[in-house]
Structure 1
Amino acid sequence: MLSIRQFLVTNDDGVNAQGIKVLTNVLSQFGQVTVVAPDRERSGHGHSITTKTPLRAAKLSHNDTVTVYSVDGTPVDCLKWGLETLFADKQPDLVLSGINHGANVGQDVFYSGTIGAAREAILYGLPAIALSAARDADERIHYDWVAEILGRYIQPLLEISLPRQTLLNVNIPGTQPVDVKGIQVVEMDVEAKRFDIIKDSDSRGSDIYWMKSLFNVEGKAQSQDLQAVKEGFVTVSPVSVGSANVEVLNNIEKQMEALS
């Protein structure tokens, strides 16, 4: 008898976000899905964890294919809680984080709670995929489009064999399914500016500042994620953590020897 694939799913938009519902619905066709997600939006929390206050978890729903829990913590808290409690005896086959409301391209790898949770999974030695959906020209996300596009590409994504300590960062373009140009494996454009500081004033006239996310900026090439998503491709980018570059280590060692 074949074993049923076990998926652990989280996000940073909260357990009630549309994106995680789309992802769960698609995944439930391929195996058993356990959702452990923040009880509210936790965007931009990166890889942060909660250590000064206790975490509270609640089981929200259960059926034959999907079980849903909420945790009052960050995405990484949710991932840790799920792995250390629900999967303490047998690890999931794959961790998926998303679908994020908005693209996670380039520099977002450092800020995104969606990617942070997937990164935590690979630190546990598990394969992981972070998924995000770009907005359209009117700054909207059409989740019916997202569901159709994901349904088209999810199976090959689930079958990719990943090296140790490497996750996949997947972005779905903000275009109608018929206009999607295909899927591209691309580098992340970490040099493109992704945020700006906007000065404003509060009701008392004091200066305040907003951190504004930028998306419609020029990427360097179609071979990088920002530009490829803008042009209508589903992008897949490997993100690695772990061992330092040996060449860099040797270079630094030589410099230290020269300075001593």
Structure 2
Amino acid sequence: MKKSKPTILVVNDDGITAPGIKALMDAMAEIGRVVVVAPDSPQSGMGHAITIGKPLRLDQVDIYEGMEMYRCSGTPVDCVKLAVNKIFKGKKPDLCVSGINHGLNNSINILYSGTMSAAVEGAIESIPSIGFSLDDYTLQADFSHCIKYVKELAQQVLDNGLPTATLLNVNFPAGAHIKGIKICRQANAKWAEEFDERMDPHKRPYYWLTGVFQMNDNGEETDVWALEHHYVSVVPVQFDMTAHHAIPVLNSWEFKV
């Protein structure tokens, strides 16, 4: 009996016309049936935001021939929620892939990333999920060297599944000289942020966020190290944010109430 092709939900945060999502949907079309649900405009840095104060629009569009595509007025997480509830109507896809993001989502960036939050929402819905990002922020980014790794990782997840409540955060270094794949941990790093204050024509201040990425981790098993040494970094991520190691510490406190 011939096995049916898997159904793959493709989402992103750069918007439905971004080159990165085109590269991802084309790669996934070689593996299974693709359904694309993406924001109608860029949603970078939205994290796990959802729309609750205004109505959402979901329109089927014909941007690329032969692709089932829907444009959503909301956030990347809204896209996943609407896909599960209105397009798939509760019959969930076999895989959710997000990206390919224009720019890295390694280390602490995962907390702010709309790309990764869409993948997290897929995992919350018990859909095996992967977020893909490339170290190139430009619209002219070349994703061609990423594709064989995208397909391989997607197929591995389809074949083997993922541990419960886990998804993958995959980042690609810039350039075609990739040495291979490394399974990593998230590096201990943060943004040292500053706000550039300026004045508008009405003499009211406004601010532009700037900052420098501070690396506080010398480990060779981190995603930052892997990318700096031209490896694809693969970090297993969980959405259970409980600090389990802290529970015994808190249980040792003597509460006086």
Return the TM-score normalized by structure 2. 0.88
| Residues 180, 254 of structure 1: alpha-carbon distance in 2 compared, 3 angstrom cutoff | same
Structure 2, unaligned runs of 5 or more: none
The 5 Å alignment of 1:222-241 reads 222-241=220-239
Aligned Cα RMSD in Å? Answer: 2.4
Structure 2 CA distance for aligned equivalents of residues 140 and 39 of structure 1: 19
Structure 1 CA distance for aligned equivalents of residues 151 and 72 of structure 2: 27
Return the TM-score normalized by structure 1. 0.87
- Note if contact 2:6-2:32 (Cα within 8 Å) is conserved in structure 1: yes
SS for the counterpart of 1:26 is helix
- Note if contact 2:199-2:206 (Cα within 8 Å) is conserved in structure 1: yes
In the TM superposition, residue 233 of structure 1 has moved relative to its aligned partner by 1.1
Structure 2 CA distance for aligned equivalents of residues 14 and 71 of structure 1: 9
**Equivalent position of 1:29 in the other structure:** 30
In the TM superposition, residue 16 of structure 1 has moved relative to its aligned partner by 0.6
| Percent identity of paired positions between Structure 1 and Structure 2 | 33
Structure 1, unaligned runs of 5 or more: none
In the TM superposition, residue 73 of structure 1 has moved relative to its aligned partner by 0.2
| Residues 249, 221 of structure 1: alpha-carbon distance in 2 compared, 3 angstrom cutoff | closer
Q: Which moved more, 1:77-86 or 1:216-225?
A: 216-225
SS for the counterpart of 1:171 is strand
Q: Which moved more, 1:202-211 or 1:32-41?
A: 202-211
1:71-118 deviations in whole A, cap 9, x for unaligned?
000000010000001112421001011111100011111111111111
Structure 1 CA distance for aligned equivalents of residues 113 and 125 of structure 2: 19
**Equivalent position of 1:51 in the other structure:** 52
Structure 2 CA distance for aligned equivalents of residues 211 and 219 of structure 1: 24
The 5 Å alignment of 1:98-109 reads 98-109=99-110
**Equivalent position of 1:220 in the other structure:** 218
- Note if contact 1:197-1:209 (Cα within 8 Å) is conserved in structure 2: no
| Residues 47, 214 of structure 1: alpha-carbon distance in 2 compared, 3 angstrom cutoff | same
**Equivalent position of 1:70 in the other structure:** 71
- Note if contact 1:8-1:94 (Cα within 8 Å) is conserved in structure 2: yes
SS for the counterpart of 1:3 is coil
In the TM superposition, residue 174 of structure 1 has moved relative to its aligned partner by 0.8
Question: Residue type matched to 2:179 in 1?
Answer: K
In the TM superposition, residue 155 of structure 1 has moved relative to its aligned partner by 1.7
In the TM superposition, residue 132 of structure 1 has moved relative to its aligned partner by 0.4
| Residues 61, 214 of structure 1: alpha-carbon distance in 2 compared, 3 angstrom cutoff | farther
Count of matched residue pairs? 252
**Equivalent position of 2:182 in the other structure:** 184
Matched, 1:249 2:247: yes
SS for the counterpart of 1:170 is strand
- Note if contact 1:141-1:174 (Cα within 8 Å) is conserved in structure 2: no
Structure 1 CA distance for aligned equivalents of residues 56 and 206 of structure 2: 32
In the TM superposition, residue 202 of structure 1 has moved relative to its aligned partner by 3.1
**Equivalent position of 1:172 in the other structure:** 172
- Note if contact 2:35-2:68 (Cα within 8 Å) is conserved in structure 1: yes
Q: Which moved more, 1:210-219 or 1:235-244?
A: 210-219
| Residues 62, 149 of structure 1: alpha-carbon distance in 2 compared, 3 angstrom cutoff | closer
Structure 2 CA distance for aligned equivalents of residues 62 and 174 of structure 1: 28
**Equivalent position of 1:5 in the other structure:** 6
In the TM superposition, residue 241 of structure 1 has moved relative to its aligned partner by 1.8
In the TM superposition, residue 198 of structure 1 has moved relative to its aligned partner by 3.8
